[in-house]
Structure 1
Amino acid sequence: MPTLLHLDSSADLTTSRSRRLSQAVVDAWLTADPTGVVVRRDLHRDPVPHLADSSLHWAPADRVEGSNPPAEAEELQRELVDELLAADIVVIGAPLYNFSIPSSLKAWIDHIHVPGVTSADTGSLVGRPVVITTSRGIAYDIGSPTEGWDHEVPALRTLFGGALGMDVHVITTSLTLAEREAALAPQIGRSEQELAEALSLATETGLRLAVATA
């Protein structure tokens, strides 16, 4: 049976669009293959701690002599890495927080990016699909004053696509603040359209990847 690892990192448990989009991918994947197994981690409700020791950045064989990370921290890292390696597809809800990655998601990343274990040169994750659903409060259009201010998606592409060698799919919706910020009110229509298009793409992506992971 194929396995999907579903992660969410939004602090908004009720109206989060990144959560809504990630769930749409998962729902479509399960619709296409009801035998699939979903492993769920809510990184906001049940946060992963920061790395307890710098030696955990490395595989045991590559650590500096004398390294002695806490046993419970090493066990948690092994659990997180094994969970990732066992997944046929990964779906991550990743809202843009202060122009970057939510700290809850970053802590998880610091645990699972281990050279010699999950890095692309090992082949352990190469070609495996990862879907990133991201929501942004404003727009970051080319040519606008905020162009290039989104430092989350480029970093996630570098990590998952470059360092881990995974097959990265990004689904984005912007202007999530349009309904609550007066200055953005003229763009409510665009906000709603982007969400509708993103939900459609999420469903399409889930269905398509279900065939690939069956």
Structure 2
Amino acid sequence: MATLLHLDASAELVDSRSRAITRAFATAFAAAPGNTVVHRDLHADPLPHLPHPELHWAAPLRSGGAPDPAAEALQERLIAELLDADALVVDFPLYNYSLPSALKAWIDHVHVPGRTAPSAVSEAPLAGRPAVVVTTRGGDYGPGAPNAGRDHATPVLELVLGEEMGMDVATVAAGLTLAGRDPARAERARRGEREYAEAVRRARDLGARLGRTLGARE
């Protein structure tokens, strides 16, 4: 048996492509016998901004005033939710070339040097655990495109979850999701549909493979 933590951050609650891709992943993961999915909707049930600077650090590394106990308790619940999961999948549309603020608030709560990130007083408890980050982009961000290099969200997730927290990060991306709104760009819209279909297929395959592999370990 294995547990997946499934995070959604899209503001679109009905027709979101990023949500559809993570849903395909989670459904395939849960198909393995005994596997479970814990779902947190970061947009519909938003987290507060981190209210105290000392919450950026594990307790042994703090040097300022004490955080509010309720804020600390929330952070502990979020960290425990992540540590209890065998895998993570998270969606994020590219908003203004960056992360949705709802997802940034979650990152600020769970990325804690001395607790979830390596430091002199702690090893990385999440080292090697799979994390699948799903991003959708309204335009074309591929090599040679005008927006190439302007995705300032995906590198943040790959850095924080991968390099900082030690997780094994895989990225699933679909572009041109807004091309269908312009009738003059039919070919770009068709390309966007192909990218979306491929992203769903890849997410489903990843979810099924990880679900079987992680479930068999328990």
Amino acid in the other structure paired with 1:131 = V
Pairwise CA distance, 1:185: 3.5
Pairwise CA distance, 1:83: 0.5
C-alpha distance 129-120 of structure 1, shift in aligned 2 (>3 A): farther
Indicate yes or no: 2:56 matched with 1:60. no
Indicate yes or no: 2:193 matched with 1:196. no
User: TM-score, normalised on structure 1?
Assistant: 0.96
Indicate yes or no: 2:107 matched with 1:109. yes
User: TM-score, normalised on structure 2?
Assistant: 0.94
Structure 1: state its 5+ residue gaps: none
Judge conservation of contact 2:115–2:124 (CA < 8 Å) in 1: no
Amino acid in the other structure paired with 2:3 = T
- Distance in structure 1 (CA, Å) of the matches to 2:182 and 2:101: 25
- Distance in structure 2 (CA, Å) of the matches to 1:60 and 1:199: 41
Matched with 2:130 is 129
* Residues 183-212 of structure 1 deviation map (CA, whole Å, 9 limit, x = unaligned): 543311101111111111011100111122
Judge conservation of contact 2:162–2:169 (CA < 8 Å) in 1: yes
- Distance in structure 1 (CA, Å) of the matches to 2:69 and 2:169: 33
Across the aligned residues of Structure 1 and Structure 2, the Cα RMSD in angstroms comes to 1.2
- Distance in structure 2 (CA, Å) of the matches to 1:185 and 1:57: 47
Matched with 1:14 is 14
Structure 2: state its 5+ residue gaps: none
Matched with 1:3 is 3
Amino acid in the other structure paired with 1:43 = L
Q: Percent identity?
A: 48
* Residues 67-104 of structure 1 deviation map (CA, whole Å, 9 limit, x = unaligned): 21111100000000000000000010111111011100
- Distance in structure 2 (CA, Å) of the matches to 1:149 and 1:87: 31
Q: How does 1:45-194 map to 2 (within 5 A)?
A: 45-65=44-64, 67-120=65-118, 122-182=123-183, 184-194=185-195
SS at match of 1:171: strand
C-alpha distance 184-64 of structure 1, shift in aligned 2 (>3 A): farther
Pairwise CA distance, 1:182: 4.1
Matched with 1:41 is 40
Pairwise CA distance, 1:120: 3.8
SS at match of 2:7: strand
